[in-house]
């Protein structure tokens, strides 16, 4: 068994430490420590076992340099991506700080942040890299695909505020032709009435395809005519009901929208 105070150790180097001597441990019958010279010039008394296993690589200067490097990189990232840092900061607070508004909707429901994003040393670096590689822009917002899932690369995306507002816990999702899609978006895509389809599925128990494809009484209604003309149904209906316009005039008069002067589609 080789002894830690054997002269053969003198001059050997581990990491930044070069062995220059030995020092008896204070505890009786506990063996020897190594006296080492660090590359930075400092001397340090260390455990031979820690040095051999790579647990101790320097007098402490290496750790300080790594921490300083990380802090410098972090500060540069915060400066370069201030909005991403705010998003990252509030994402963590919503999940882990009970004093944060809406904590009960996130951390209070068991929602957490993935290890690679919460890591103290590289969490923000990893988040920034993921964001840039996955379509981040200042016009988009962070959204969880599954609103009951965690914040992690597999469950997050960058979407418009409109898309995020549509993706809430009460949002209705359906599977249509093998694709999982929001019911509201599906209805807009196909051009059918959301309220009708919603009622058929959730009140009458119809399957999705039948609810989407079966014609309704509205196919010959004012709503259908509005779709064909590209007119807003609410606008046309108000013209007829409130202002007494004929259906033909209501459907064929372009809308100027509602302005600050409150003069609306009546002209």
Note whether residue 87 is domain-resident: yes
Could you tell me if 73 and 53 lie in one domain? no
Number of domains in the chain: 3
pTM comes to 0.47
Does 88 share its domain with 155?
yes
Q: Is the pLDDT of residue 258 over 60?
A: no
Say yes or no: 16 and 98 in one domain. no
Residues 74 and 17 in one domain: no
Domain edge (last residue) among 218, 240, 255: 218
Asked whether residue 47 falls in the same domain as residue 23, the answer is: yes
Give yes or no for a contact between 217 and 193, defined as CB atoms under 8 angstroms apart.
Answer: no
User: Does some domain include residue 140?
Assistant: yes
Same domain (yes/no): 82, 139: yes
Q: Is residue 261 part of a domain?
A: no
Residue 51: domain span: 7-59
pLDDT tens for 159-206 read: 998 888 777 766 778 888 888 888 888 888 877 788 888 888 888 889
Helix axes 61-80, 123-133, angle to 10 degrees: 40
Q: Is residue 165 part of a domain?
A: no
- Give a yes or no: residue 263 inside a domain: no
Q: pLDDT per residue over 88-107, tens digit each? A: 999 999 999 999 988 998 99
Lowest-confidence segment of 115-124, 183-192, 218-227, 254-263 by average pLDDT: 254-263
């Amino acid at each position: 068994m080789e002894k830690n105070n054997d002269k053969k150790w003198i001059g050997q180097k581990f990491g930044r430490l070069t062995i220059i001597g030995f020092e008896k441990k204070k505890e009786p019958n506990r063996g020897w420590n190594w006296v080492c010279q660090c590359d930075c010039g400092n001397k340090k008394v260390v455990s031979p076992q820690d040095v051999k296993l790579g647990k101790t690589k320097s007098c402490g200067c290496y750790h300080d340099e790594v921490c300083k490097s990380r802090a410098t990189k972090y500060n540069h990232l915060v400066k370069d991506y201030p909005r991403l840092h705010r998003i990252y900061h509030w994402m963590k607070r919503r999940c882990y700080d009970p004093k944060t508004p809406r904590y009960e909707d996130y951390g209070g429901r068991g929602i957490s942040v993935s290890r690679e994003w919460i890591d103290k040393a590289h969490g923000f670096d990893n988040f920034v890299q993921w964001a840039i590689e996955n379509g981040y822009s200042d016009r988009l917002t962070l959204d969880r695909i599954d609103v009951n899932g965690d914040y992690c690369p597999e469950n997050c995306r960058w979407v418009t505020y409109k898309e995020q507002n549509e993706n809430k816990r009460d949002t209705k999702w359906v599977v249509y032709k093998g694709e999982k899609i929001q019911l509201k978006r599906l209805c807009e895509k196909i051009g059918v009435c959301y309220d009708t389809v919603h009622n058929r599925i959730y009140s009458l128990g119809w399957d999705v395809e039948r609810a989407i494809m079966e014609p309704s009484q509205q196919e010959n209604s004012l709503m259908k005519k509005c779709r064909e003309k590209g007119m807003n149904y609410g606008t046309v209906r108000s013209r007829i009901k409130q202002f007494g316009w004929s259906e033909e005039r209501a459907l064929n008069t372009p809308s100027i929208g509602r302005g600050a002067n409150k003069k609306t589609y009546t002209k």
